[in-house]
Chains A and B, each alone.
Chain A
Amino acid sequence: MKNLSKNGGGISRRQFLQIGTNVGLIMAVAPNSAFADGHKDLVVAIPADLGGWDQDYLAFDLVGLATMKNCYPYMIEYGVKSVGDAHVMDTENIVPVFAESWESDSEGRVWTLRIRKGLRFPSGNALTAHDVKWSKDRAFAAQANVAGIYRMIGLSEASQVEVVDDYTIRITQSQPSSLSSHIQVICLYVFDSEELKKHATSDDPWAKEWATKNPQSGGAYNVTSYKAGQEIVLEANENYPLDQPRVKRVRLQVVPSAANRRLLLEKGEIDIALGLSRRDIDDLRSAPDIKVISSPSNEWVFMPMSATVAPLDNSKVRQALAHAVPYDAIVKNVYNGNARRSTSPVPLDMPGHSASGYPFAYDLDKARQLLSEAGVTDGFEVELAVMAGDVEQERIAVIVGNSFEQIGVSLKISALDPGTLFQRRTEKSIPLQIASGQMWVNDIEYLLATSLTPGGFLNYAGYDNPRVQEIFVELNTLADQSSRAKLFTELQDILADDVPWLVLAQPNFDLPVSARVSNWVQPVDGLFRLYYLET
């Protein structure tokens, strides 16, 4: 009683400070200036600041990569198509943006990029073929992200990118590839080379340090203000070669707390809240003045199984586990029905997808029978790694664990922090894990390169099948679509026997926005395109 009466029933100094801090936070993320021009700004709450502004060296930072997708000049881009009420990126349709044209020779090995004339960076420097050449030289010299991806299409040296004239670039691959345009949609972004050269030093010839700290512009939007950890202001680029972005100014406000992002959206202080949990999004469906944009997504959730750790090294055991996953319960209870069940390691909507790739239904008797055939009669315990703090992964782990118990398989669930998870994935030391991702290139060859062949950085299972590798090599140089389709079918038959992953679901993309926001285009790579938005 003594302690209670100390505050006299009022609020303590600590409580006062806490309230003050919360009010301050709300005011900080929703400043009046955001609406000074009559609420025309689009305000987007993002969960974290960018990891840096140098796109060559940014990885696993979706907010950063998405921001750059809107700020860097990209030569080519995917088109847009409608699927039902939704707009999605059309990966079959490559559109020149800063490029005037993008063409290959008949073989698909030598590509010519013609750049539009009269384009300028915000610095006033002209955008020419020399900027493209310098940007790709930088990528090769510094072995940046682009250099790694370029190897998939036979580009490994800077000399393969040549300046033909001030507005023409020739790119000569060591082999033809059906992935060339897709890879270039990701990689053909350009730095303001004249500007970066000013900041280069003998120790840092590619101005990496300067490029990391200073916003790059010249794309659909220019960065006009950047307050680290607080706010990024983007304004439509008047020199953008296509139609002007409909929204002239966008404010990306850093709001780390998901609860605050949700609160701000409910109060109408922001227009888009990124990174909300599925549960928050479901709650917001019925909120006034808020709508949830929903579209099928190519994100897929799966459980890679190590093929080298007993007893998972036995394909019958992996098949048994595939029969013990309650797929429908996961779709219904983890995703509240807003997901599609996966039917192959090849994601739904990817050309070549076949349901023969994963012929497993929830059938515990069949699972027990397969375990018995594999000689595993006493059950076993296995570690299941999930990303710490990822509620959806934890819920999947609990549901799957509950089901596995019924066939004698006990899961030891490890919630790993991102650093440890990354390290153990690199070491291939996780027997069973939950993973999710999006294929930035909607093609099986890319899927194989990244996820199902040795050396693939997403091959968490350490999967290694010689025939699958042969198929991958054949696909590298095979342009004929019917021949590729046959290989796709054979591949999925092999995967159905090997079961390197338990494939669970493809959750829909759901985004809560204020009622005034429209024309969202669902990106294939998960990186929002502000260009299309309207308010």
Chain B
Amino acid sequence: MKATNKKRRLWSLNQSGDILAITGIIILTVISIMAIAAPLFSSWGPKQIDFSAFLSAPTANHWFGTDGNGMDVWSRILYGARIDLSIGISSVVIAVLVGSTIGSIAGYFGGWMDAIVMRLTDIVQAFPPFILALTVAAMFGRDIGQLVLAISLVFMPAYIRLMRSEIRALRQRSFIEAAECAGNTHMRILVRHLIPNATRPILVIAPLNCGWAILTLAGLSFLGLGIPIPEAEWGAMISAGAADVIGGRWWTSVFPGLILFISVLGFNLIGEGFLERSGQRS
């Protein structure tokens, strides 16, 4: 009887997408803990050079080998997680906050304000997303703050559109009319009644975007417009190690590629989990 209940509970979790989300959260939590406590997991610094081991294959001293600069790949993966996860998450958080605010105002007030906002997002979305990030990064530079700005700009229009359409739909509902009749201010209606009811789709999309943001950063680094050398960043590590693969030195790019894959998978599982749970797959 106990076993049957347990089985049912697991089945129930799977149905609601919780297993997916929990798996994703566990993956990212483990990576985050290892990044925060990186010195505990590696005796090498991320920029420390082992002059006796350039491009060394994985050994007991260097678990994931060393790169062309004699730096420990395992250590750089751990420290690189700090940069990749923080840029990935913070750029999406900024895109969500700014995009949702603008989208809510445009959707609520409509009229010329809505028209201007929509045309601006049309212009921004006319550019292929990665080309846009590339252009902004090339224009403003390669500091972490500027890269966050560049990546958040790529994702912002989607949140503006999403929030606008949600707010416009909700605005016709009777509970909003009731709130207006009760004398609530526009600000109060937006903040207390509309926005909390419109955030569900954002919870689904934001984790997926975090994964894409990390991939965008990796892409920028691969093209030399990401984090400057010799900072540890996964995309830059893959880029630097790519030329070594043909010579059989696979570890310099395969391990960073693997962790990048696992992290993006983690974010995607969370997004998928939320999607399943909200029942919006159909």
Contacts of A398 in B (CB 8 A): 47, 49, 69, 71, 229-230
B244 contacts partner chain A, Cβ-Cβ < 8 Å: yes
Size class of B's contact patch?
A: 10 to 19
**In the complex, A413 Cα to B229 Cα: how many Å?**
6
Contacting residues of chain A (252-305) with chain B, CB-CB under 8 angstroms: 258-259, 262-263, 277, 279-280, 283
A215 contacts partner chain B, Cβ-Cβ < 8 Å: no
CB distance from B43 to the nearest CB of A (A): 17
CB distance from B260 to the nearest CB of A (A): 19
Q: If A389-B224, A398-B49 touch, does A333 touch B70 (CB 8 Å cutoff)?
A: yes
Contacts of B47 in A (CB 8 A): 398, 402
Interface of B is mostly: loop
Q: If A259-B246, A277-B243, A413-B229 touch, does A402 touch B224 (CB 8 Å cutoff)?
A: no
Interface centre among A332, A394, A412 (most CB of B within 10 A): A394
Contacts of B71 in A (CB 8 A): 398
Contact of B51 among A329, A397, A415 (CB under 8 A): A329
CB distance from A403 to the nearest CB of B (A): 9
**In the complex, A274 Cα to B80 Cα: how many Å?**
35
Report whether B229 and A397 are in contact in the complex, using a CB–CB cutoff of 8 Å: yes
Report whether B228 and A283 are in contact in the complex, using a CB–CB cutoff of 8 Å: no
Against B, the Cβ 8 Å flags (1 = close, 0 = not) of A374-399 are 00000000000000110100110111
Size class of A's contact patch?
A: 20 to 34
Report whether A279 and B228 are in contact in the complex, using a CB–CB cutoff of 8 Å: no
Report whether A258 and B243 are in contact in the complex, using a CB–CB cutoff of 8 Å: yes
Contact of B229 among A277, A280, A394 (CB under 8 A): A394
A414 contacts partner chain B, Cβ-Cβ < 8 Å: yes
Contacts of A388 in B (CB 8 A): 224
Contacting residues of chain B (40-97) with chain A, CB-CB under 8 angstroms: 47-49, 51, 54, 68-71
A108 contacts partner chain B, Cβ-Cβ < 8 Å: no
Report whether A412 and B51 are in contact in the complex, using a CB–CB cutoff of 8 Å: no
CB distance from B211 to the nearest CB of A (A): 16
Report whether B49 and A402 are in contact in the complex, using a CB–CB cutoff of 8 Å: yes
Report whether A279 and B68 are in contact in the complex, using a CB–CB cutoff of 8 Å: yes
Report whether A391 and B68 are in contact in the complex, using a CB–CB cutoff of 8 Å: yes
Residue of A whose beta carbon sits closest to that of B70: A333
Interface centre among A259, A395, A412 (most CB of B within 10 A): A395
Report whether A333 and B54 are in contact in the complex, using a CB–CB cutoff of 8 Å: yes
B247 contacts partner chain A, Cβ-Cβ < 8 Å: yes
Report whether B51 and A333 are in contact in the complex, using a CB–CB cutoff of 8 Å: yes
Report whether A415 and B229 are in contact in the complex, using a CB–CB cutoff of 8 Å: yes
**In the complex, A283 Cα to B247 Cα: how many Å?**
7
A401 contacts partner chain B, Cβ-Cβ < 8 Å: yes
Report whether A413 and B247 are in contact in the complex, using a CB–CB cutoff of 8 Å: no
**In the complex, A414 Cα to B243 Cα: how many Å?**
21
Contacting residues of chain B (205-260) with chain A, CB-CB under 8 angstroms: 224, 228-230, 240, 243-244, 246-248
Interface of A is mostly: helix
CB distance from B2 to the nearest CB of A (A): 31
Residue of B whose beta carbon sits closest to that of A262: B246
Interface centre among A258, A398, A413 (most CB of B within 10 A): A398
Report whether B68 and A401 are in contact in the complex, using a CB–CB cutoff of 8 Å: no
Residue of B whose beta carbon sits closest to that of A394: B229
Report whether A401 and B230 are in contact in the complex, using a CB–CB cutoff of 8 Å: yes
Contacts of A283 in B (CB 8 A): 247-248
Residue of B whose beta carbon sits closest to that of A415: B224
Residue of B whose beta carbon sits closest to that of A386: B229
**In the complex, A472 Cα to B49 Cα: how many Å?**
42
Contact of B244 among A279, A332, A395 (CB under 8 A): A279
Interface centre among A399, A402, A414, A415 (most CB of B within 10 A): A402
Contacts of B54 in A (CB 8 A): 333
Contacts of B244 in A (CB 8 A): 279
Q: If A259-B246, A280-B247 touch, does A395 touch B228 (CB 8 Å cutoff)?
A: no
Q: If A279-B244, A280-B246, A391-B243 touch, does A414 touch B228 (CB 8 Å cutoff)?
A: yes
Residue of B whose beta carbon sits closest to that of A328: B51
CB distance from A521 to the nearest CB of B (A): 29
Report whether B246 and A412 are in contact in the complex, using a CB–CB cutoff of 8 Å: no
Contacting residues of chain A (129-186) with chain B, CB-CB under 8 angstroms: none
Contact of A412 among B224, B228, B240 (CB under 8 A): B228
Q: If A333-B54, A388-B224 touch, does A279 touch B243 (CB 8 Å cutoff)?
A: yes
Residue of B whose beta carbon sits closest to that of A326: B51
Contacts of B247 in A (CB 8 A): 279-280, 283
Contacting residues of chain A (386-437) with chain B, CB-CB under 8 angstroms: 388-389, 391, 394-395, 397-399, 401-402, 412-415
Interface centre among B48, B71, B228, B229 (most CB of A within 10 A): B229
Contacts of A415 in B (CB 8 A): 224, 228-229
Contact of B69 among A258, A263, A399, A412 (CB under 8 A): A399
Against B, the Cβ 8 Å flags (1 = close, 0 = not) of A331-349 are 0110000000000000000
Contacts of A263 in B (CB 8 A): 246
Residue of A whose beta carbon sits closest to that of B245: A259
Contacts of B224 in A (CB 8 A): 388-389, 415
Residue of B whose beta carbon sits closest to that of A329: B51
CB distance from B50 to the nearest CB of A (A): 10
CB distance from A308 to the nearest CB of B (A): 24
**In the complex, A415 Cα to B70 Cα: how many Å?**
20
**In the complex, A203 Cα to B246 Cα: how many Å?**
51
**In the complex, A263 Cα to B246 Cα: how many Å?**
9
CB distance from A382 to the nearest CB of B (A): 14
**In the complex, A332 Cα to B70 Cα: how many Å?**
12
Residue of A whose beta carbon sits closest to that of B230: A398
CB distance from B267 to the nearest CB of A (A): 17
Contacts of A412 in B (CB 8 A): 228
Contacts of B230 in A (CB 8 A): 397-398, 401, 413
**In the complex, A398 Cα to B224 Cα: how many Å?**
15
**In the complex, A263 Cα to B247 Cα: how many Å?**
11
Contacts of B240 in A (CB 8 A): 391, 394
23 contacts between A and B (CB under 8 A): A258-B243, A263-B246, A279-B68, A279-B243, A280-B243, A280-B247, A332-B51, A333-B51, A333-B54, A391-B68, A394-B229, A394-B240, A395-B69, A397-B229, A398-B49, A398-B69, A398-B230, A399-B49, A399-B69, A402-B47, A402-B48, A412-B228, A415-B229
Chain B residues close to A by CB (< 8 Å): 47-49, 51, 54, 68-71, 224, 228-230, 240, 243-244, 246-248
Besides A394-B240, A395-B68, A415-B224, 20 new A-B residue pairs in contact (Cβ under 8 A), listed by A number = A258-B243, A259-B243, A259-B246, A262-B246, A279-B244, A280-B247, A283-B248, A332-B51, A333-B54, A391-B240, A397-B229, A398-B47, A398-B229, A402-B48, A402-B49, A412-B228, A413-B228, A413-B229, A414-B228, A415-B228
Counting from the closest, the 7 A-B pairs by CB-CB distance are A283-B247, A398-B69, A398-B230, A388-B224, A333-B54, A402-B49, A413-B229
